[in-house]
């Protein structure tokens, strides 16, 4: 990577943002706030994930640029209010990552990726000003995460805090029990009860996936894609059959 080119490109983008927000800039950009930009950050992050899944480097590059623009926009809003700037963002994440990797930047020794993950969680706990309670542990997850991904992380954190039994996280046995409850709910034809049990079953399925080192969010995205491909193939077959008859 050319460091000079990186510096020039980054400053050019920051200057562009300043121009957009300036007196002779864009009226739309001038009206944006943290609340409006946060949704674009979320959307662009999903676009990055989609581009990665499609395996097209050009698209990944494009979407990463779009996401970076929104990140810089938020940093610019913080700077306008005198709260922080992009330099603060970079310096803080650099120090944070150094602290989270004492096996690289310190004297800690690890023998596996699992040990790295365990150390990571311990370091996160020590970074808190006070001992983590189960409430703060779970509430720290962003509410805007996709529901299946959030279920995965909630289960993960509860188990890390040794709350699995208390929270009723029981892997396959839990899924079986929830499925039986759903069957009874469907038999009752109680829409509210059915909805609740569907939600409980989805939560249990997310935990089952986590038990096997999988992520329910990723699995459902893959299933969605297979469904789309199946529908596309069916449509092609129908069109081909229609053309043959003609």
In the chain, % of residues over pLDDT 90? 48
Nearest residue to 151 (alpha-carbon basis) of 95, 200, 212: 200
Pick the residue with more confidence: 150 or 86?
Answer: 86
- Report if residue 79 sits inside a domain: yes
* Residue range 154-172, pLDDT digits in tens: 887 777 666 655 555 567 8
Same domain for 150 and 70: no
Owner of token pair 């039986």: 180
Evaluate if residue 58 carries a pLDDT over 90: yes
- Residue 22 is given by DSSP the state S
Q: Distance (Å, rounded) from C-alpha 114 to C-alpha 17?
A: 42
Same domain for 168 and 77: no
- Report if residue 131 sits inside a domain: no
Lowest mean pLDDT across 99-113, 139-153, 202-216 = 139-153
* Residue range 203-237, pLDDT digits in tens: 989 888 888 888 888 888 889 889 998 999 999 88
- Report if residue 8 sits inside a domain: yes
Cβ atoms 202, 149 nearer than 8 A: no
Q: Distance (Å, rounded) from C-alpha 136 to C-alpha 132?
A: 6
* DSSP per-residue codes, 40-68: HHHHHHHHHHHHHHHT-HHHHHHHHHHHH
- Report if residue 244 sits inside a domain: yes
- Report if residue 154 sits inside a domain: yes
Domains in the chain, number: 2
74: number of Cβ within 10 Å? 18
What value, to the nearest 5°, has the Cα angle with vertex 149 and ends 146 and 151? 105
Cβ atoms 189, 179 nearer than 8 A: no
Domain holding 228: CATH number?
1.10.287.1080
Over the chain, what is the mean pLDDT? 86
Domain containing 182: what range? Answer: 142-246
Indicate the pLDDT class of residue 132, thresholds 50, 70 and 90: very low
- Report if residue 175 sits inside a domain: yes
The tokens for 165 are: 């039994």
- Report if residue 112 sits inside a domain: no
How much is the pLDDT for 122?
A: 80
Dihedral, 99, 103, 104, 105 alpha carbons, nearest 10: 50
Indicate the pLDDT class of residue 183, thresholds 50, 70 and 90: very high
């Amino acid at each position: 990577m050319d460091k000079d080119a990186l510096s020039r490109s980054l400053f050019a983008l920051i200057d562009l943002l300043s121009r957009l927000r300036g007196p002779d800039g864009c009226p739309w950009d001038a009206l944006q706030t943290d609340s409006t930009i946060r949704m674009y950050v979320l959307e662009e992050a999903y676009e990055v994930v989609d581009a990665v899944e499609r395996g097209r480097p050009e698209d990944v590059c494009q979407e990463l640029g779009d996401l970076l623009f929104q990140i810089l926009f938020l940093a610019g809003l913080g700077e306008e209010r005198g709260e922080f700037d992009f330099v603060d963002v970079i310096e803080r994440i650099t120090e944070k990552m150094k602290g989270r990797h004492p096996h690289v930047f310190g004297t800690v020794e690890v023998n596996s990726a699992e040990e790295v993950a365990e150390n990571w969680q311990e370091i996160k706990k020590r970074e808190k000003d006070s001992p983590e309670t189960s409430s703060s542990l779970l509430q720290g997850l962003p509410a805007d995460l996709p529901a299946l991904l959030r279920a995965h992380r909630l289960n993960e954190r509860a188990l890390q805090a040794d709350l699995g039994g208390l929270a009723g996280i029981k892997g396959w046995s839990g899924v079986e029990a929830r499925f039986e409850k759903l069957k009874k709910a469907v038999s009752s034809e109680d829409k509210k009860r059915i909805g609740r049990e569907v939600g409980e079953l989805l939560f249990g399925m997310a935990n089952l996936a986590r038990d096997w080192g999988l992520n329910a969010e990723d699995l459902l995205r893959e299933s969605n894609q297979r469904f789309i491909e199946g529908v596309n193939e069916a449509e092609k077959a129908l069109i081909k059959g229609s053309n043959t008859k003609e």
